[in-house]
Amino acid sequence: MKALARMQNAWAGGIEIPMSLRIYNTLSRALEPFTPIEPGHVRMYVCGMTIYDLCHIGHARMMMAFDIVQRWLKASGLKVTYVRNITDIDDKIIKRAVERRITIRALTDEMITAMHLDIGALAIESPSLEPRATEYVPEMLAIIKTLEQKGLAYQASNGDVNFAVRKFPGYGKLSGKSLDELRAGERVAVQDGKEDPLDFVLWKSAKDSEPEDAKWDAQALGYSFGKGRPGWHIECSAMSCKTLGETFDIHGGGADLQFPHHENEIAQSEGANGKPLAKFWVHNGFVRVDNEKMSKSLGNFFTIRDVLKQYDAETVRFFLIRTHYRSALNYSDAHLDDARTALKRLYTALDLVPAQVLDAIDWTEPFAARFKAAMDEDFGTPEAVAVLFDLASEINRTQSKALAGLLRALGACVGLLQADPKVFLQAGAVLDETAILDRIAQRAAAKAERDFALADTIRKNLLAQGIVLKDSASGTTWEVVK
């Protein structure tokens, strides 16, 4: 992956690339021209995983979306500081650790290792920083204290510290929800010492039933709140501010986080320091199964590692990429089968013609210019993938090594087409290569003796075992049919 990153940087540096990127900003509900706050340097924060179980394809979709964002920003010649956090303390984590009779740290370390293995298999690049929430509790307490001093937070009778939503004038600007609409839809009575049902918790007072490793002594850290743990929303406010500063370029996450999580982040962060939290808010769409959002609570999820038992990693990556990141993605075996077939078309073109290694992408070349225009329009991977297929067709027609090199180089910008074509096309064969080549030789001998019936029988027998033969002027090659 480091070698690929070096190639991407080299390609980006070959010809100066004008900044023409537009990104859809959830905050403004419009496509906006993107220019980093600091010239040449993008700072991006994405809400990552709550670590208590294996990652499913819905999680992969989120991380893939921002992997593409990171890759394209780098391919455009920009330095990127990408922070993707880990939530390693919350109710679900505590419950699972207690159920398994292990410490919270043992559970979260195990799940973090599993996550890295699963998303690494999909060639999702690591972020620049991956902070764990439990490492930033002092920073969270400092923000809570500031909010209390400004009258935006209060300690309830049960010991919790809550954010007073109605005292923050800008609440609802990200989601477009007004306080009156939220209050009209609220059916839960004021409880747990809250002054208003819309208020949310910043610091949860410790309960006797909770394990000791789920508690922090705020007084020992210099605060008056007592033993407890942070609420979910405050974690990201503290981690993003500490790692990227009070205002940064892009804040991302799944569409389900827009409200209330990201709305609450804005309230906390901007309430504390009076500065905009992020310039752009970017949200990816859901993965759906039978028209329902994929989620653990619905029980309709497929873990990454289970999917990878059936499909190769690059096929899964291609399946996730070829739908625009803001659109809903429909999961099914049929769609993955189709993705595999489509990806094979690209690799077949690369197998036909040895690719010329490019030192840099010439972004004025027509195919490259179209690819760039697609990616510059809110990371438009469907249109960019269409360019790759047009380029493959041209390679099949012209057998141009330069165009084959360009196909590999453009594919690298989105993490595709870096495998050896023959290895990809022949992966998963039920017969070993020696046996297949022996049968190809038998077929060639039969054809030479004009025994076309035997030659056809050999071909059909191989096909029945998932091996398709391809004849050309240069000889016979084979690949796996799935």
User: For residue range 291-304, what is the model confidence (pLDDT) as tens digits?
Assistant: 777 776 677 789 99
Q: Is 292 helix (H, G, I), strand (E, B) or coil?
A: strand
Residues 6+ apart with CB under 8 A from 473: none
Picking from 420, 436, 455, the residue at the C-terminal end of a domain is 420
**Lookup: tokens for 364:** 């004025």
Question: Do 54 and 17 fall within a single domain?
Answer: no
**In contact, 161 and 202? CB cutoff 8 Å:** yes
Q: How far apart are CA 253 and CA 58, in angstroms?
A: 12
Q: Is residue 162 part of a domain?
A: yes
Question: Do 370 and 466 fall within a single domain?
Answer: no
Q: How far apart are CA 42 and CA 25, in angstroms?
A: 15
Q: How far apart are CA 55 and CA 115, in angstroms?
A: 6
**Lookup: tokens for 414:** 């989105």
- Burial class, 224, CB count within 10 angstroms (exposed 0-12 / middle 13-18 / buried 19+): exposed
Question: Do 136 and 221 fall within a single domain?
Answer: yes
Q: Is residue 326 part of a domain?
A: no
Q: What is the DSSP string of 13-78?
A: HHS------EEEETTTTEEEE---SBTTEEEEEEEEEE-SS--BHHHHHHHHHHHHHHHHHHHTT-
- The least confident of 50-64, 253-267, 380-394, 460-474 is 460-474
Q: Residue 206 belongs to a domain with what CATH number?
A: 3.40.50.620
**In contact, 335 and 461? CB cutoff 8 Å:** no
Q: Is residue 139 part of a domain?
A: yes
Question: Do 389 and 460 fall within a single domain?
Answer: no
Mind listing the pLDDT tens digit for each residue in 183-201?
654 544 456 778 999 999 9
Q: How far apart are CA 55 and CA 304, in angstroms?
A: 6
Q: Is 207 helix (H, G, I), strand (E, B) or coil?
A: coil
Picking from 420, 438, 461, the residue at the C-terminal end of a domain is 420
Question: Do 125 and 269 fall within a single domain?
Answer: yes
Question: Do 120 and 4 fall within a single domain?
Answer: no
Question: Do 343 and 283 fall within a single domain?
Answer: no
Residue with tokens 């929430």: 133
Question: Do 254 and 202 fall within a single domain?
Answer: yes
Question: Do 72 and 56 fall within a single domain?
Answer: yes
Would you give the DSSP letter of residue 364?
T
pLDDT of residue 467: 81
In 3-state terms, the chain is what percent helix, strand and coil (to 5)? 50, 15, 35
Task: Specify the number of domains making up the chain.
Answer: 3
Q: Is residue 87 part of a domain?
A: yes
- The least confident of 339-343, 393-397, 444-448 is 444-448
What value does the mean pLDDT take over residues 86-107? 97
Cβ of 194: how many Cβ atoms within 10 Å?
A: 21
Q: How far apart are CA 346 and CA 392, in angstroms?
A: 6
Q: How far apart are CA 403 and CA 395, in angstroms?
A: 6
Question: Do 8 and 41 fall within a single domain?
Answer: no
Domain hosting 467: range is 428-480
Q: Residue 416 belongs to a domain with what CATH number?
A: 1.20.120.640
Helix H or strand E encompassing 334: helix 333-352
- The least confident of 221-225, 302-306, 309-313, 409-413 is 221-225
Single out the residue of 347, 373, 314, 375 nearest to residue 68, CA to CA: 375
Mind listing the pLDDT tens digit for each residue in 7-62?
444 444 444 455 699 999 999 999 999 999 999 999 999 999 999 999 999 999 99
Question: Do 146 and 272 fall within a single domain?
Answer: yes
- The least confident of 239-248, 334-343, 372-381, 454-463 is 454-463
Name the percent of the chain lying above pLDDT 70. Answer: 93
Picking from 293, 323, 354, the residue at the C-terminal end of a domain is 293
For residues 53, 56, 59, 65, the Cα torsion angle rounded to the nearest 10 degrees is: 150
Q: Is residue 312 part of a domain?
A: no
In which region does residue 451 sit, left (phi positive, over 0), alpha (psi from -120 to 50) or beta (all else)?
beta
Q: Is residue 50 part of a domain?
A: yes
Tell me the one-letter amino acid at 49. Answer: M
**Which pTM value belongs to this model?**
0.89
pLDDT of residue 426: 84
Single out the residue of 111, 90, 61, 130 nearest to residue 233, CA to CA: 90
Q: Is residue 154 part of a domain?
A: yes
Helices assigned H by DSSP within 122-231: 137-149, 179-184
What are the distances in angstroms from CA 308 to CA 24, 294, 414? 32, 17, 20
Chain-wide mean pLDDT for the chain? 91
Q: Is residue 310 part of a domain?
A: no
Q: Taking the CA of residue 182 as centre, how many other CA atoms within 13 Å lie in the half-sphere pointing to its CB? A: 17
Question: Do 474 and 385 fall within a single domain?
Answer: no
Check whether the bond before 260 is cis (ω within 30° of 0).
Answer: yes
